[in-house]
Structure 1
């Protein structure tokens, strides 16, 4: 019996090692695929293997133990919301006669993050495995940050050496940093993701080293020259501070604000220029429909009304699948005339998330999906308040903060259907649920 228990613990520990390797692969996935473009089969295998691994993991760790061994997975509180959301999408797809392959492909994009969440929540986690995850990705993130600064200094050379896209996107005179990512937006998100965890550890432990490191990663996020992760950083920090008593909230908030202002002063002209460019692009337009993101938001409401109550079906609006298999809705609603949304150039079709949900599943689907994320926020907030172990508490707080950051990014990004972002955020939520479940079981 003891030997069986020991073997099970070793298995769980090894699974966490595999998850760390999978996470590192996810961070490098697009760059590896980019270097394999000449070999179509290898290129496509690398691009889509994450979804295959996730499906297999869910099958072997959740489905088989449940139906064959009777090991029912722990309840997470989102089962009904998620099931109803997917059911609505299936019904709307049938009603709108969406081709099966298109609907199924979009279905997979919607669920892959949640499948990964269930995988992580089902694998027992403890302080030892948690520290292993945190240290591993802290070192990996540090490497990405250092290489990001190399990318600033010698972008053409660095991108040539790594086989990355050699186009340099200058914003306010600064090259948008990508490091080992293919897009600067992903670098900006990952730096913000790591920065928020260090901010969380500073909030819990009060160590200056955590605060210094968090600002170093926040600076890396700034050099991506993308507004979304910077807005997400602010939202995440405010969410973290809101969990503190008023006195500590003011005390730590003032420290963070003071250092943030000092660091912002040298780059303020660039920061303000970035803000001004976004306001000009999205708010200060005579006709908001000339901008793809604005058009996606406005038209999604019209589609939800016209296809009431369940939307136009999976794969029909605002997502990568609707661009790859060009949806007839873009012609029907004159969106094909918007720059970046024509059948020949679909680069801005999947530039948001919530319009996709609203257009494809209607107002009810939108409410259900928002309800899932709200359930995560409430659970994490409760875990932070009730946790006594400071290390675990800091991780739970960091996860709450990165979840809030993801909500901010999802306003202008298909965040919850994108890799690696959705895996990291919902995977971290899954670890928090696992830690909580193990603690409850040991009482």
Structure 2
């Protein structure tokens, strides 16, 4: 008598749950149904007695119950809020709305891991989690050594760590193929709505910018309006549309091609270009070349190489203007350019205080801007344009990513954060190259591509810690951790391997 042991093929998503975990989940659901009448009765009595306290508490109970019962819906809602929280805050001028994405991230970080532990399952490990933890430790230790207030260090640390914490929470949810398809439809819907908004912005740039743009005016680049779409700044539109283009191109390369996805590719690439933001356009171009290399599409690379000189001649005017503008901003005006000053001073801090930095909430981050860090006063930042003490005069204090990572956690902390991103990239690329089912391979290729485009954009944009860009990247990193989990107890019978698609 022989015993067969079924091992999951690489990239296969488990579509079943262990019997013991399933029974625990069922019993947990039954417990909720029994507890609901008691909760409703108690809530009714509480509302009648102390409505000012009971109503918020009741809302909190409903939200918690929803997160437990509908974890994937909670993740989707959180991601949607991360994408559009700045738009919501702009349209509804209530300051508390600006913290809505952080509140939902906290909800996910608390509820989703606890839910998994209650089901008797082990917690999953996000790719690069050890490196991200080192980053967090260095930021905390640096802040306390520098004598910063505990509230500043803790709040600043959470804001810089919320992305990978959200990804770790997402990893604690099971993502079967039906869930991935639903998530893909959800993403396609968001892209379509965003492209409709881009079209409306293109047709009526003045009224649209007056409604949504945070400057309430049209930003003209090279004689054309710089679009914002459903966001409040062209940077947000460029970052999200470049990420969307990566996801759709990866879908066409792994799952299949269709007229609909072709339209989405054209639309997202056009929207990225119409944002007229150098970082987003550069990130898109780099990730397009990277995708061609991954797919080993030599013919496309040769065509691009042959067409490059012709395009350079045809676009000589705009290219010269872009290069000249960049040179003036960061070389000629380097002493006064906010990004240049912040980057140089962050590097100086990291070297002078090696191996620590200034500490969480003390340099280059949103918390450092809100509290106006003593590091800024010591460097006479109030006298530099865009680095002042108020929201209006300090609009460039959070204008780029790496000064915060490098200045607050030092060389070791910043290197650890980068190593965490590399770990996410390697896991995604490995899942894609391992073969297996198309949907898990799509998750792997998309996640790796998002790391590439985000690294390019991070040179001059806050993409790892600020909305809307951090949401898609780290949410997919969490899904990647879940679908690439090789735990035998949670695996199902392997499905036949599909023929991969290697063209876009």
Q: Give TM-score, length-normalised by structure 1.
A: 0.88
For 1:91-240, list aligned pairs within 5 A.
91-160=141-210, 165-204=215-254, 207=257, 209=259, 210-211=261-262, 213-240=264-291
Structure 2: 5+ residue stretches without partners: 1-18, 30-66, 493-504
| 1:80-131 CA-partner distances (Å, limit 9, x unpaired) | 3222221211111111111111111111112211121012111100211111
Q: Find the counterpart in structure 2 of residue 47 from structure 1.
A: 98
| Secondary structure of the structure 1 residue equivalent to 2:385 | coil
Partners of 2:190 and 2:229 in 1: CA distance:
12
For 1:232-381, list aligned pairs within 5 A.
232-244=283-295, 248-254=296-302, 269-270=317-318, 273-283=321-331, 285=332, 288-344=334-390, 345-381=393-429
| Secondary structure of the structure 1 residue equivalent to 2:124 | coil
127-136 vs 206-215, greater mean Cα deviation = 206-215
Partners of 2:378 and 2:454 in 1: CA distance:
31
Q: CA offset at residue 8 of structure 1? A: 9.4
Q: CA offset at residue 409 of structure 1? A: 0.9
Q: CA offset at residue 341 of structure 1? A: 0.8
Aligned residue pair count: 432
Larger radius of gyration: 2
Partners of 1:130 and 1:214 in 2: CA distance:
20
| Secondary structure of the structure 2 residue equivalent to 1:122 | coil
Task: Quickly say closer, same or farther: Cα 1:140–1:255, change in 2 above 3 A.
Answer: farther
Contact 2:156–2:361 under 8 Å retained in 1: yes
1:432 equivalent in alignment to 2:480: yes
Q: CA offset at residue 282 of structure 1? A: 1.6
Contact 1:12–1:123 under 8 Å retained in 2: no
Partners of 1:9 and 1:182 in 2: CA distance:
43
Given the alignment, which residue of 424, 449, 455 partners 1:407?
Answer: 455
Structure 1: 5+ residue stretches without partners: 38-42
Flag the structure with more relative contact order, 1 or 2, with Cα contacts below 8 A and sequence separation at least 6: 2
Partners of 1:30 and 1:262 in 2: CA distance:
40
Contact 2:426–2:448 under 8 Å retained in 1: no
Q: Find the counterpart in structure 2 of residue 79 from structure 1.
A: 129
291-300 vs 329-338, greater mean Cα deviation = 329-338
Contact 1:240–1:398 under 8 Å retained in 2: no
Contact 1:195–1:218 under 8 Å retained in 2: yes
Partners of 1:31 and 1:80 in 2: CA distance:
34
Q: CA offset at residue 146 of structure 1? A: 2.0
Partners of 2:28 and 2:445 in 1: CA distance:
26
Contact 2:180–2:439 under 8 Å retained in 1: no
Q: CA offset at residue 311 of structure 1? A: 0.9
Partners of 1:163 and 1:80 in 2: CA distance:
39
Contact 2:338–2:384 under 8 Å retained in 1: yes
Task: Quickly say closer, same or farther: Cα 1:77–1:15, change in 2 above 3 A.
Answer: closer
| Secondary structure of the structure 2 residue equivalent to 1:31 | helix
Contact 1:227–1:275 under 8 Å retained in 2: no
Contact 2:218–2:225 under 8 Å retained in 1: yes
Contact 1:179–1:187 under 8 Å retained in 2: yes
| 1:337-376 CA-partner distances (Å, limit 9, x unpaired) | 3211122411111112112111111111111111111111
Q: CA offset at residue 280 of structure 1? A: 2.9
149-158 vs 408-417, greater mean Cα deviation = 149-158
Task: Quickly say closer, same or farther: Cα 1:254–1:5, change in 2 above 3 A.
Answer: farther
